[in-house]
Amino acid sequence: MGQRLVSPHIFQNGIKQLLSDQIISHWEIRYLFVIGALIKRLAQGDTIMTIAIIGTGNMAKGLAGVFSKAGYPVTFGSRDAAKASEAARELGGNVSGADIASAAGNADVVVLAVPFDAAGDAIAAAGELEGKIVIDITNPLTADYSSLTIGHSTSAAEEIQKLAPKAKVVKAFNTIFASVLQAGGKIGDKPATVFIAGDQQAVNDAVEAIAAKSGFVPVQVGGLSVARYLEPVAGLNIVLGYMRGFGTDIAPTWQTVI
Ligand SMILES: NC(=O)c1ccc[n+]([C@@H]2O[C@H](COP(=O)([O-])OP(=O)(O)OC[C@H]3O[C@@H](n4cnc5c(N)ncnc54)[C@H](OP(=O)(O)O)[C@@H]3O)[C@@H](O)[C@H]2O)c1
């Protein structure tokens, strides 16, 4: 056990004295505590990432809900800024709306919650995305969900990295149905698994921290090319959910003996 440098009683008595002598107000004390907590979090490396979500559809709203409940400031970026503001109003809290360029420009993390075929448009609208973490949740599926449109020797994630070469692209959240996100990221009372694939360890760790803080079970699976396996897993999830009668309250996970 580490030794305390200042006894809590001495500290509390000191604050009481400052208050009774009217040297400091209750509001100023609260303000100092908030600043102190912030400094402590920053010192611990727990930086508060700001998140932009491009799109205002099912996944965008589901992710915005879980991220904002975990304390992340979230901004929807839409082709129609008024639509983004409306989506933000629906969720309330620390969620706002903007056009795609300003949402992405002001964020540390940009989530592409658009169809894979629209990823090029979304990236062009978002700007260079230089140095930003880009979370790709897309699944490159045919319109009838019977197969992938690309795969084997590439993946949506790798193609998106080519479209945004200055960004740090990570595949994540693509195996979770929007309905599970809207249920707080849980299947019943069990947290859903988020598989994370990316080429930079520090970036994978940052996405893992966001997923864990948002209540998921994160599992790092390796480099970005592992998305070649994650995207078909999402296809299987759709087959089970929609075609084999399991419904959408499901999510893939992996069993281990531990
Ligand atoms: N639904 C699921 O359960 C699920 C699960 C896992 C992964 N995914 C993947 O997540 C992505 C989003 O799925 P979703 O179900 O949320 O789709 P969705 O409800 O149809 O929403 C897609 C959003 O993309 C934006 N968009 C469309 N075309 C665009 C363009 N050309 N440029 C910029 N933005 C564009 C639209 O936003 P604005 O109109 O506001 O611009 C729209 O709200 C897809 O890639 C899907 O494969 C979905």
Residues 31 and 119 in one domain: no
Residue 118 within a domain: yes
234 CA to centre of ligand 1 in angstroms: 15
The pLDDT, as a whole number, for residue 79 is 98
Ligand 1 pocket mutation, candidates 114, 139, 236, 239, criterion most atoms within 8 A of CB: 114
Residue 250 lies in a domain: no
Whether residues 216 and 95 share a domain: the answer is: yes
Output phi, psi for 16, to 5 deg: -60, -45
Please check the confidence at residue 4 and state whether its pLDDT lies above 60: no
SS3 category, 51: strand
Residue 237, domain extent: 51-243
- CATH code where residue 176 lies: 3.40.50.720
Task: Note whether 127 and 227 are same-domain residues.
Answer: yes
Q: Please work out whether the CB of residue 18 comes within 6 Å of at least one atom of ligand 1.
A: no
pLDDT at site 36: 56
Res 157 pLDDT > 90: yes
Q: Are 107 and 50 in contact (CB under 8 A)?
A: yes
Q: What is the mean pLDDT of residues 143-167?
A: 98
pLDDT > 90 in the chain, percent: 80
CA of 46 to the centre of ligand 1 (A): 30
Q: Which residues contact 142 (CB under 8 A, 6 or more apart)?
A: 148, 149
- Structural domains counted in the chain: 2
pLDDT greater than 90 at residue 113: yes
pLDDT band, residue 33 (cuts 50/70/90): low
Same domain, 56 and 128: yes
Tens digit of each residue's pLDDT (9 = 90 or more) over 177-233: 999 999 999 999 999 999 999 999 999 999 999 999 999 999 999 999 999 999 999
> Three-state SS for 189?
coil
Determine if ligand 1 sits within 6 Å of the CB of residue 216.
Answer: no
pTM beyond 0.95:
no
The string of pLDDT tens digits covering residues 97-112 is 999 999 999 999 999 9
**105 lies in some domain:** yes
CB 124 within 8 A of CB 102: no
What is the chain's mean pLDDT, rounded? Answer: 91
Q: Which of 68, 54, 61 is nearest to 101 (CA)?
A: 54
Tokens of 221: 């699976």
For residues 39 and 143, membership in a common domain is answered with no
174 Cβ below 6 A of ligand 1: yes
Task: Specify if 2 maps to a domain.
Answer: no
- Sequence-distant (≥ 6) Cβ neighbours of residue 188 within 8 angstroms: 249
The kind and range of the H/E element at 221 are strand 217-222
Distance CA 150, CA 137 (A): 15
> Measuring CA to CA, which residue among 231, 168, 239 is closest to residue 198?
168
